[in-house]
Structure 1
Amino acid sequence: MERDRDKNRKILEKIRGIEIHEYKSGLSVEEAERLYGVKAIKLASNENPYGPTPKVYDALRNFSFFNVYPKEIPELKQALADYLGVEESRIVLGAGSDGVMDSIFKMFVDKGDEVIIPIPTFSYYHTLSSIYSARVINVERREDFGIDVDAILNAVSNKTKLIFICSPNNPTGNSERFEDVKAIVESVDCAVFIDEAYAEFADENLLKLSDYENVIISRTFSKAFGLANLRIGYAVMDEELVKYYKAVSPPFPVSTIAQLCALQCLGDLEYMRDCVEKIKAERERLFRELKKRGIKAFPSQANFLFTKSPIKASEFVLELIKRGVIVRDCSNFLGCDEFSVRVSVGKPEENDAFLRALDDLLANL
């Protein structure tokens, strides 16, 4: 069966004329138990450890229309417009940020078109580029992981259709300077996709750039709002782009129950902001504790820390799993080295468990 899958993939790659890069998520708690026989905590996927507002469960209990196709709930887009301070007519929904990005590729990218991706960054941009047979132009980031504006602009050609900018960036955690991104937006004739999945954890955002006709800003309910399992994201874009987005988007992309739960989250912003503040406080504590232990960690504006492990990341992550903690090996992210590790910020007791496991690992090196 595995041989057949490999054969089919190779046939598809030959037909499309481009290698397909599969997106691989981190190890799950269930997989850790099955493979290593340990009860583990997961600090690998940048999830909100506190979950969504309790009001979400009221929506779940009161919902019974599982047999009918979903429709967009007008109240959700109005609530989003109020939350963001933008026109409702410029908001679209998708099955998470990933679903939004898939529709954006349908809108802009044909086989052989070019996509510019500053690396290291979220690897799903490369996955989609390979699926849509695009030619990827990777642009190295600066030493502080900020985007290199000149290098990006020098990489633009008449075949460039999309430029990706993730802020705060995954996996490095840094936010981009508004003026840097603005300079790119104003200098190119292609679309600029700004991924703000972690915007709620940052001190500043790039939302004002959505006023430009060539900018799409994507956000999600998966992170700060704690709805990762329901797969609901959204984007803000020019009204003309909205028409094309709706034309290429699959029918019924977001379930009614996901929309109702998202609406409950927007109705309880105090809960979300309280979660964010607790996570940010723990993020800073973890940063200090890692520094005390001689582990290189980089300042973050997200709900995770990018670190350099003292041994190869693959070995480091495996040793932590054996000690009951799952973190993310980032050595396979383009632009990352073999010591790159990302640690999601959990609850205080989860972070303490990580630090204990780390201390034990370091003591046995």
Structure 2
Amino acid sequence: MAFKRLPEFYEEPDVGYDVYRLHFNENLFLPEEYYREVLGGIESWEARFYTQPNNASLAARIEDHMGLPRGSVVITAGADDGLRLAIQLLHFAEERRLVVLEPTYSMPRILAEQLGVEYVQLPYGPDLGLDVDTAVKMARGGAVYVCSPNNPTGHLVKELEELASRLEGLLIYDAAYAEFAGLWRPKLHEYGNVVEMRTFSKAWGLAGLRVGYLIARGRLASALRALAYPHPISSYSAKAVERALGLEEYVRRSVLEMRAVRDEVAGRLRLDKYVGEANFITLRLDGAEAAAAELYRRGFAVRALGGRPLCRSCLRFTVAPMGVMEKFLAALGEALGIKLI
């Protein structure tokens, strides 16, 4: 069979579990007692039969917990599945165009290519400001993707609501890190042209369960549900997330602990860096790839990022409890050949 071209395989780094995993921004502050309460069993019939279509009970539970309108939540297999649905929706838009504010998460570009949607890059300003006028003009009848707090800069995009109010097309708002910034309840769904992405993989500490959800209004939510798989997540994952919603206080405490450690670590790093509202710090330094490889040899998996606006050569690491951070800072100093205060 002849193809014009085939998609490239996106390979996630497989670092195993014998190193300190500081590359995926998982929540490393939740106690074991939280997981003991969340990870109960399921009944035999729940394993035997398919789940409810669209995991409707979990969607309703999230709507009640978050104070959202009925029918506004669409369950997805992690946030990336939700991002796929939102970009796929552009096949029904006036233009198959996705404007992405950079530097940011890599999956919007990858999914746009896989789904046959035009990817257009719009850099943040030197002060990490978003040029709303330009974004609106570039998007036209397509969509704009914004991550806030942004990965890898960590900053909150203060122009988000202005963009939502002025955009003719769709705003895909990636709120994966929102809870770390104290944004516990979605609110941009009030705009009829916004799809907000949330996940239980980050602050809620349940990345292995692969549960995310989209929030949108009325017809937009119905359209996303029509594109979604009928049984996106397992009975086990749905039940565990329902238990987690009743244990939010654990998650809130872990976020406060993380923020305290993040601020202390940032204060000790006399390096050019991005420190925002998320659970990571991104260093701007030459030779990020080599530094990441050196850190891996010392037992720490981190993420080297490069070739992007405002992030030509960057090294991002997840904030972990202070005992781990002390070891990491020592290894980082050795890898860079400097003394860290």
Q: When the two structures are superposed, what TM-score results if normalisation uses the length of structure 2?
A: 0.90
Identify which range, 145-154 or 21-30, moves more after superposition.
21-30
Cα 1:222–1:251 change in 2 (3 A) is: same
1:189 and 2:172 equivalent?
A: no
Partner of 1:363: 337
SS of the aligned residue for 2:196 comes to strand
248 and 353 in structure 1: CA distance in 2 versus 1, 3 angstrom threshold:
same
Tell me the residue number matched to 2:317. 343
Alignment counterpart, residue 102 of structure 1, candidates 84, 91, 100? 84
> Residue 241 of structure 2 corresponds to which residue in structure 1?
262
Change (3 A) 1:204 1:251: closer
Deviations 1:309-333 (A, max 9, x none): 2x3111111111112111100115x
Is residue 298 of structure 1 aligned with residue 281 of structure 2?
no
CA contact (8 A) 2:66 2:185 kept: no
1:216 is aligned to: 195
Contact 2:55–2:233, Cα closer than 8 Å, also in 1: no
Cα drift, residue 21 of structure 1: 5.5
| Amino acid aligned to 1:202 | A
Task: Please state if 1:28 is matched with 2:11.
Answer: no
Change (3 A) 1:40 1:86: same
Partner of 1:276: 255
- 1:126 is aligned to 109
Q: In the alignment, what sits opposite 1:3?
A: none
2:300 — aligned with what? 325
8 Å contact 1:55–1:264 — kept in the other structure?
no
Deviation at 1:218, TM superposition (A): 0.9
TM-fit CA distance, 1:59:
5.6
Quickly say closer, same or farther: Cα 1:53–1:240, change in 2 above 3 A: farther
Residues 55 and 140 (structure 1 numbering): CA distance in 2 closer, same or farther, change over 3 Å?
Answer: closer
Contact 1:52-1:225 within 8 A present in 2 as well = no
**C-alpha displacement of 1:22:** 4.4
Read off the aligned partner of 1:99 and give its amino acid letter: D
| Paired AA for residue 302 in structure 1 | A
Q: Is the 8 A contact 1:52 1:226 kept in 2?
A: no
Following superposition of structure 1 onto structure 2, how do residues 156-175 of structure 1 map, counting pairs within 5 Å? 156-157=139-140, 160-175=141-156
In the other structure, the counterpart of 1:230 is: 209
Task: Quote the residue 2:132 is aligned against.
Answer: 149
Contact 1:29-1:41 within 8 A present in 2 as well: no
Aligned to 2:157: 176
Report the alpha carbon displacement of residue 91 of structure 1 after superposing the two structures with TM: 1.0
TM-aligned CA deviation for residue 140 of structure 1: 0.8
Structure 1 position 186, deviation (Å): 1.9
Match 2:28 to one of 49, 57, 71: 49
The corresponding residue for 2:284 is 308
Query: 1:82 offset after TM fit, Å?
Result: 3.5
- The answer to whether the Cα contact below 8 Å between 1:325 and 1:353 also exists between their aligned partners in 2 is no
Answer whether contact 1:21 1:126 (CA < 8 A) is retained. Answer: no
2:264 is matched with 285
State which drifts further: 256-265 or 55-64: 55-64
What is the letter of the counterpart of residue 335 of structure 1?
A: P
The residue that corresponds to 1:91 in the other structure is: 73
Q: Structure 2 counterpart of 1:252, which letter?
A: H
Deviation at 1:27, TM superposition (A): 4.5
Match runs of 1:62-101 below 5 Å: 62-63=41-42, 64=44, 65-71=46-52, 75-101=57-83
Gaps spanning 5+ residues in structure 1: where? Answer: 1-7, 31-38
* SS across alignment from 1:358: helix
Work out whether residues 52 and 265 of structure 1, in 8 Å CA contact, stay in contact via their aligned partners in 2.
no
Query: Residues 55 and 75 of structure 2 are in contact (CA less than 8 Å); yes or no, is this contact kept in structure 1?
Result: no
Amino acid at match of 1:342: R
* Percentage identity across paired residues of the two chains: 27
Q: Name the aligned partner's letter for residue 120 of structure 1.
A: P
Q: For residues 94 and 123 of structure 1, do their structure 2 counterparts lie closer, same or farther at Cα, with a shift above 3 Å needed?
A: same
Residue identity in the other structure for 2:297? K
Paired residues of 2:55 and 2:231 also in contact (CA < 8 A): no
Q: Is the 8 A contact 2:96 2:118 kept in 1?
A: yes
**Superposition deviation, residue 69 in structure 1:** 1.6
Distance in 1 of aligned mates of 2:31 and 2:118: 39
Aligned residues of 2:192 and 2:216 also touching (Cα < 8 A):
yes
Q: 1:92 to 1:54 in 2, by over 3 A?
A: farther
How far the C-alpha of 1:81 sits from its partner, in A, is 2.2
Query: Is the 1:164–1:194 contact (alpha carbons within 8 Å) kept by the matching residues of 2?
Result: yes
SS at match of 2:99: strand
- In 1, distance between residues paired with 2:232 and 2:291? 39
What are the Cα deviations for residues 329-350 of structure 1, in whole angstroms up to 9, with x where unaligned? 0115x43544211111112121
Closer/same/farther in 2, CA of residues 108 and 206 from structure 1, 3 Å limit: farther
Work out the CA distance in 1 between the residues paired with 2:189 and 2:9.
30
- Equivalent pair of 2:282/2:314 in contact (CA under 8 Å): yes
